[in-house]
Amino acid sequence: MTVHRSVLDMAKNINTELYNDILEALAGKRLTGYDIYRMIKEKHPYLSARLVYHYLRLGVDKGELNVEESTEKGKFSWGETAKKKYYSISGAK
């Protein structure tokens, strides 16, 4: 599998534009990482969901973001429950 160079650069160095876009997507909201990925992927053509989760973990580690786990009930291909992580900006609960 070939990984585009800009993806590797984004993972090594904090891309402030990408991080700010993640924060903008979260402004006043509580979203899953995948929801954030879908919202900003057009602006960042080489973006992967994995990179969004990496940035979210960095934000949680820095204390700028909150993460909350939730178990949701429904009809999923693997069963009746799914665990989801919701992210929000710290202090914006």
What's the CATH number where 60 sits?
Answer: 1.10.10.10
Query: Model confidence over 21-50: pLDDT tens digits?
Result: 999 999 999 999 999 999 999 999 889 999
Q: C-alpha angle 9/11/14, rounded to 5°? A: 85
pTM of the model: 0.79
Give me the domain span that covers residue 77: 5-89
Distance separating alpha carbons of residues 93 and 61, to the nearest angstrom = 17
Split into its structural domains, the chain has a count of 1
Which amino acid, 72? E
Residue spans of beta strands (DSSP E) within the chain: 31-32, 65-76, 79-89
Phi, psi of 48 (to 5 degrees): -120, 155
Query: Model confidence over 66-92: pLDDT tens digits?
Result: 999 999 999 889 899 999 999 999 975
